[in-house]
């Protein structure tokens, strides 16, 4: 008898034929498990229920309807940072994220779900506020700050000249900005004041850093793949003809052994079993949770594919 596995995904995967790598991953999952697919916008926090679908042969989805989230494993692949939290009754963005963490933890505490990847408290540590709590010197992370007043942001910009502002909760470089003078800080602040659903504490700040962009993937807490981008001024810059993508997965690669040790330590400290650690140069830039993209394309060629390692890990976890 197949084990019951729940997986939370981006709603667009069900509505549209996009995110093909993830759709293929769901097909693989369905071959091994009794799979229920839950779009992140299908959570009913008050009733502790969720709207689910079944994966069908040929790539379609069949509606199951509202369910009590029960199973052997719950894989939370999407946290819905891209959704309008107000649709779900939350005035503040951060409250929507916290409600998800509480929702998942409730199912674990009740015993409705035996295992969750990642654990709710570990997934919460992928927020950049946790990165800001770490020792910058001991852990090779880019110094990350959360400020209490806009005056502190002005002071930081004067000191560093070029600074980067990021949402504490976000992804895909959404709302990431480079601020190079006081006028840009002022523009950021004026725009922030127009939002009633967030404040300065929802953002973190880093000095602008340059260097190779590296990503190390971990599954089951073990390193499974690595890649390096070179040629972009910033990680949110579009791909151009100067960009180069290379493998970054061997001790013979310059700097790899040290980066791997630093990334492994952060994974263990945060408790994430599935995710990725991003570097700019030789410093850790971000911690990515379970929703990390599983593949990397070099133009049209599949360059990195962590899906087989992911499936093997889940099979071992369920046996």
pLDDT tens string 274-293: 999 999 999 999 999 988 88
* Residues 245/303, Cβ–Cβ less than 8 Å: yes
The answer to the question of residue 129 being in a domain is: no
CATH code of 88's domain: 3.40.50
Residue 29 sits in the same domain as residue 55: yes
Strands (E) located in 208-265: 213-219, 222-230, 244-247
The answer to the question of residue 245 being in a domain is: yes
φ/ψ of 312, rounded to 5, equals: -60, -40
Beta-carbon neighbour count of residue 49 at 10 Å? 16
The C-alpha angle 253, 259, 265, rounded to 5 degrees, equals: 145
Tell me the residue range of the domain where 36 lies: 4-117
The answer to the question of residue 135 being in a domain is: no
Determine the average pLDDT of the residues in 54-77: 94
CATH code of 292's domain: 3.30.470.20
pLDDT tens string 210-239: 999 999 999 999 999 999 988 877 776 766
The answer to the question of residue 124 being in a domain is: no
The C-alpha angle 197, 164, 173, rounded to 5 degrees, equals: 65
pTM: 0.93
Residue 252 sits in the same domain as residue 285: yes
The answer to the question of residue 132 being in a domain is: no
C-alpha 245/C-alpha 52 separation (Å) is: 38
Length of the chain: 319
pLDDT tens string 25-62: 999 999 999 999 999 999 999 999 999 999 998 889 99
Domain count, the chain: 3
Residue 45 sits in the same domain as residue 57: yes
The answer to the question of residue 133 being in a domain is: no
3-state secondary structure at position 9: strand
The answer to the question of residue 134 being in a domain is: no
Would you state the torsion angle of the CA atoms of residues 199, 202, 207, 209, taken in this order, to the nearest 10 degrees?
Answer: -130
Among all chains, which residue has been given the structure tokens 């001790």?
A: 251
pLDDT tens string 185-218: 999 999 999 999 999 999 999 999 999 999 999 9
CA torsion sign, 150 to 156 to 161 to 165? negative
The answer to the question of residue 137 being in a domain is: no
Share of the chain above pLDDT 90, in %: 82
């Amino acid at each position: 008898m197949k084990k019951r596995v729940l997986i939370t995904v981006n709603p667009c995967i069900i509505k549209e034929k996009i995110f093909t790598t993830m759709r293929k991953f769901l097909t693989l999952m369905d071959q091994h498990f009794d799979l229920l697919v839950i779009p992140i916008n299908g959570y009913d926090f008050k009733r502790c229920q969720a709207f689910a679908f079944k994966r069908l042969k040929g790539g379609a989805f069949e509606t199951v309807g509202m369910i009590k989230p029960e199973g052997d494993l719950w894989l939370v692949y999407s946290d819905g940072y891209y959704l309008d939290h107000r649709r779900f009754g939350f005035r503040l963005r951060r409250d929507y994220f916290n409600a998800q963490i509480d929702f998942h933890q409730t199912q674990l505490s009740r015993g409705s779900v035996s295992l969750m990847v990642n654990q709710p408290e570990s997934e919460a540590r992928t927020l950049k506020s946790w990165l800001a709590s770490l020792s910058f010197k001991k852990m090779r992370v880019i110094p990350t700050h959360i400020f209490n007043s806009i005056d502190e942001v002005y002071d930081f910009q004067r000191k560093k000249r070029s600074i980067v502002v990021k949402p504490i909760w976000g992804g895909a470089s959404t709302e990431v900005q480079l601020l190079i003078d006081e006028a840009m800080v002022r523009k950021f602040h004026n725009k922030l004041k127009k939002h009633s659903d967030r404040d300065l504490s929802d953002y973190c700040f880093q000095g602008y850093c340059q260097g190779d962009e590296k990503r190390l993937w971990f599954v089951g807490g073990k390193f499974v793949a690595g890649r390096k981008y070179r040629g972009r001024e910033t990680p949110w810059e579009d791909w151009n003809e100067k960009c180069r993508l290379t493998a970054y997965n061997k001790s013979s690669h310059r700097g790899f052994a040290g980066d791997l040790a630093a990334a492994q330590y952060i994974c263990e400290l945060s408790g994430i079993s599935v995710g990725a650690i991003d570097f700019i140069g030789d410093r850790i830039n971000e911690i990515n949770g379970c929703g990390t993209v599983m593949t990397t394309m070099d133009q049209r060629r599949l360059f990195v594919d962590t899906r087989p390692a992911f499936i093997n890990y889940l099979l071992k976890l369920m046996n």
